[in-house]
Amino acid sequence: MDEPPSPPHKVVITGVSGRFPASANMDEFKENLLNSVDMVTADDSRWPAGLWNLPERNGKIPNIDQFDVEFFGIPEDEVPYIDPQERMMLDTTYEAIVDSGVNPASLRGSNTGFYYGSCFQETHTDFDDPMKAPPKIRTLVARVSRHFQFKGPIIQTDTACGSSFTALNEAFLAIKAGLCDQAIVAGTNTIFRPRVSLQFRDLTMITKDGKCKCLDAGANGYVRSEACVVFFLQRTTDAKRIYCTILNSKSNADGYKVEGITFPSRKGQRQLVSEVYQQVGVDPTTINYIEAHVTGTSAGDPVEMDAMYDVICENKKDPLYVGCLKSNMGHSEGASGLCGLAKACIVYQTGLIPPNIHYSKPNTRMRGLMNGKMVAVTKTMKFKGKWIVTDFYG
């Protein structure tokens, strides 16, 4: 008689590390969140204050120029030409693996995948004259896998603000399918060149006052922010510690829209969330808390909240509490999905939901806020039950 098939192993987050605005590590990030610290600051460390009438507040990673050259065995004359995102990625990858209780040396030669999401590489324009460009300038995914001697797949994704969550989705599916035994999932965003910010200003997407007023009636755009986040994903059978279990992950695209490529689709988002729950047999009305993508824009936020309302709140008796990380640290664009997941890990770890800031009265275009079925988290509260992390774009 044949043996019954073994139950599929779950994919879990076992290690995490990150650099965030005004937060050199996860511990500082946690304290800033729980103490309602506005991590967006005004200074001229990236470009002169007032340049081109750009917002003077941005979310900036501290000490972004620091790197232990000797530890990673990189020649000193090569370091100035390495993208700062590469240097941070080496640091945070090492830290995330150690955080899981695994010795990084034990992964040498293993079938470990590296999945990386980002959408703006502002350091590309540092070398306008190709004759002056150094021979090595954008080797991030190759450098990380080479240093740690990973033998698994290397995937870099760019789906705009959903980039890092797309990387997470690909890593999750790869582990489930047996394409790799474990995976590093990473997302970065840095702000070095004012021209990108100028383009967003001209598109009226960023706010002059440098505040993401998520869910608020006064929302008038978002503030740009930096981040570098790394997760270590393993199967439950290999895990020494578990932050949380990934029940499901899924992605889709809106296809053609009359409104244009930058406008989101309520129908597409509603379908995606509904399918994520249906595939794992979760009743969406049992969800008590979501960590939303909302940024403070008039186009995307109401659509996202309406899609969530349709799937979760329509037949729900208790209110759905909504967390908005971007109110605290700004919008880290391609890295934003993993930043939200990092916050969710903190919620699980502490049993506390940090408050949103810059919120005074509800956006009247969000029916869930107006009828009380959705509630913005404005003070630290105890976490109970289930949650979902969302990251939508377009």
Determine the residue type at 132: K
Residue 88 tokens read as 């941070």
212 is known as an active-site residue: no
266 burial class (0-12, 13-18, 19+ CB within 10 angstroms)? middle
Report which DSSP code applies to 358: S
Asked if 100 contacts 240 with a C-beta cutoff of 8 angstroms, the reply is yes
Whole-Å CA distances, 100 to 2, 172, 280, 346: 36, 17, 26, 15
Asked if 266 contacts 306 with a C-beta cutoff of 8 angstroms, the reply is yes
Asked if 311 contacts 273 with a C-beta cutoff of 8 angstroms, the reply is yes
Residue 52 tokens read as 């081109």
Catalytic residue among 214, 293, 324, 358: 293
124 is known as an active-site residue: no
With vertex at residue 228, the alpha carbon angle to CA 227 and CA 233, rounded to the nearest 5 degrees, is 135
Q: What is the DSSP string of 122-180?
A: GGGGG--STTTS-S-S--HHHHHHHHHT--S-EEEE-BTBTHHHHHHHHHHHHHHHTS-
SS3 call for 377: coil
Catalytic residue among 119, 161, 228, 324: 161
Catalytic residue among 212, 324, 331, 358: 331
Handedness of CA 329, 330, 331, 332 (dihedral sign): negative
Element (H, E) at 284: none
Catalytic residues: 161, 293, 331
